[in-house]
Chains A and B, each alone.
Chain A
């Protein structure tokens, strides 16, 4: 290991050290604020460290790591999202009884796993990253162990995620057996000269798709999503929706483009089918949903359906569109779950749409944040979601994916319906129920989210420039 190696791994080191330090601190002096402050600092430090890595990239630590602009970009997104989740968790956890400092430890390990996925260039790191992430998530989901629903969600996620991991692993094994390498770049070279991919390889990719499809909550591996989103604490749900999915997407894009999956017809068709099904099933399931967490879960299924269209474009621009989409999706999802977690109390999770009735007239700013998030999810102009969808459709059309684009259009309309339902109830006549007051931290986070949505919606040029510059494989 050289100095450069260590330098380029510094974010991971920080992320790995932080939970250890927290553990030590807790064992000496248990204080929620201290742990929280330290966590924030660590994440910020990790983000800052990225700036120092920039000069040395691309740097490969053979055979597992590949630290390049693409991975750093994703790590940045992941870390910022994690930071926002931490901010939102602060209030949410504060009102809980019992032990809550450990939450941040687990959050760090899972963020570590997610970040590892972004630099993975090898099945081993792929597997380890995804397992680190998932294993931490089991705990996070079941973190409110006094609640039935939290435990139920945890066990469901555990069983299903394990099965999907097993599939992923088996698929990796099959690919390894065909080409004798677990490194993406080696696989790429091996495949380049083949006219026809070996069946075993395609089979392997198919099984990996199961694992990845599960993590991204794509149909038909989506069934867990609503239950887990509902059962998990709201910040954790937002974490699953953003960090977990983003990281898996990062490694999947890299892997998929390395093996040029879009060139293979059967993979192409399977992914198209999954995409179309995800859009329709996700949106249709949402239209009558009364629980807002489940609704967002279904919406995330549909959104991931939109997103994986981009895999089939097979172009760098497609990746950029996907990243832009992911970023806006992260922001809006965190915003939406943020509102939920800020409005939740110890006794009552603010998850029924009924509880949002008349929110606008009681807490206008919160309602506006929620409205912007939902409009962004629906892809209405002046929100980031609109530009993101535009970008996605643009690249999809460039690649001639007409059927997928049209089913996306149809689904945008269906989707609009249930987003409007929530908005409508927020703007209708108020009911009597009381809402908790929102802390400054929560307000700042939401304000950040809203401003980002607006800025990206009206003036997205700079981010696109940024993505074009940095997010290249």
Chain B
């Protein structure tokens, strides 16, 4: 089996996380933003997988399962909310939603 140093693996996860963040910043559509958040969550999950592999423990895997379920709930609620946003604002462009602000 090809052995990749653990640092490299973390770096990979980090890059993934960073990409998710970038995606979040550049995208305006709420759905895409939600997807970017998913990417960030998954990259974080990846770290746990790497760690589990590194320490030969099941804990990381367990954590990942939890993460998966939580993100699933998150997406569910998120999509529901996005629906409501569309209902109220007639757009998914996040920049158009700024009623709440300092005068």
Residues of A within 8 A of B (CB): 123-124, 127-128, 131, 135, 138-139, 142, 145, 148-149, 151-156, 158-159, 162-163, 165-167, 169-170, 172-174, 176-177, 180-182, 200, 226-227, 230-231, 285, 289-291, 294
User: Which residues of A have CB within 8 Å of B13?
Assistant: 170, 173
- Among A127, A149, A181, point to the contact of B99 (Cβ < 8 A): A149
* A138–B70 CA distance with the chains assembled, in angstroms: 13
* A148–B101 CA distance with the chains assembled, in angstroms: 13
User: Which residues of A have CB within 8 Å of B85?
Assistant: 151-152, 155
Q: Does B19 contact A (CB under 8 A)?
A: no
Do B37 and A289 have beta carbons less than 8 Å apart? Answer: no
Q: Which of A124, A138, A158, A182 has the most B CB atoms < 10 Å from its CB? A: A158
* A142–B88 CA distance with the chains assembled, in angstroms: 12
Do B70 and A170 have beta carbons less than 8 Å apart? Answer: no
* A138–B13 CA distance with the chains assembled, in angstroms: 28
* A154–B58 CA distance with the chains assembled, in angstroms: 36
User: Which residues of A have CB within 8 Å of B77?
Assistant: 135, 138-139, 158
Smallest CB gap from A183: residue in B:
B59
* A398–B97 CA distance with the chains assembled, in angstroms: 47
* A358–B43 CA distance with the chains assembled, in angstroms: 55
* Complex A-B, nearest 5 residue pairs according to Cβ-Cβ distance, in ascending order: A173-B47, A166-B40, A169-B44, A227-B100, A180-B55
- Among B63, B84, B102, point to the contact of A127 (Cβ < 8 A): B63
Residues of B within 8 A of A (CB): 6, 10, 13, 17, 20-21, 24, 30, 33-34, 37, 40-41, 43-48, 50-51, 54-55, 57, 59-60, 62-63, 66-67, 70, 73-74, 77-78, 81-82, 84-85, 87-89, 94, 97-103
User: Which residues of A have CB within 8 Å of B41?
Assistant: 162, 165-166, 169
Smallest CB gap from A159: residue in B:
B33
- Given A124-B63, A176-B48, A177-B54, A155:B70 Cβ within 8 A: no
- Given A155-B97, A227-B100, A166:B33 Cβ within 8 A: no
Do B51 and A177 have beta carbons less than 8 Å apart? Answer: yes
Do A180 and B51 have beta carbons less than 8 Å apart? Answer: yes
* A180–B56 CA distance with the chains assembled, in angstroms: 9
- Among B33, B46, B74, B99, point to the contact of A148 (Cβ < 8 A): B99
Do B20 and A177 have beta carbons less than 8 Å apart? Answer: no
User: Which residues of B have CB within 8 Å of A148?
Assistant: 88-89, 99
Smallest CB gap from A176: residue in B:
B51
- Given A138-B77, A177-B6, A169:B67 Cβ within 8 A: yes
* A138–B94 CA distance with the chains assembled, in angstroms: 17
Do B102 and A152 have beta carbons less than 8 Å apart? Answer: no
Closest approach, in angstroms, between the C-beta of B65 and any C-beta of chain A?
Answer: 10
* A200–B14 CA distance with the chains assembled, in angstroms: 12
Smallest CB gap from B63: residue in A:
A124
Q: Which of B97, B100, B101 has the most A CB atoms < 10 Å from its CB? A: B100
A-B contact pairs, 12 of them (CB 8 A): A135-B70, A138-B77, A151-B84, A152-B89, A153-B100, A159-B24, A166-B20, A170-B13, A176-B51, A180-B57, A226-B100, A227-B101
Do A124 and B62 have beta carbons less than 8 Å apart? Answer: yes
* A148–B48 CA distance with the chains assembled, in angstroms: 39
* A159–B84 CA distance with the chains assembled, in angstroms: 15
* A291–B101 CA distance with the chains assembled, in angstroms: 10
User: Which residues of B have CB within 8 Å of A156?
Assistant: 97, 100
Closest approach, in angstroms, between the C-beta of B50 and any C-beta of chain A?
Answer: 6
Q: Which of A131, A145, A153, A173 has the most B CB atoms < 10 Å from its CB? A: A173
Do B81 and A158 have beta carbons less than 8 Å apart? Answer: yes
Smallest CB gap from B101: residue in A:
A227
Do A128 and B47 have beta carbons less than 8 Å apart? Answer: no
Do B44 and A170 have beta carbons less than 8 Å apart? Answer: yes
Closest approach, in angstroms, between the C-beta of B95 and any C-beta of chain A?
Answer: 12
Do B74 and A159 have beta carbons less than 8 Å apart? Answer: no
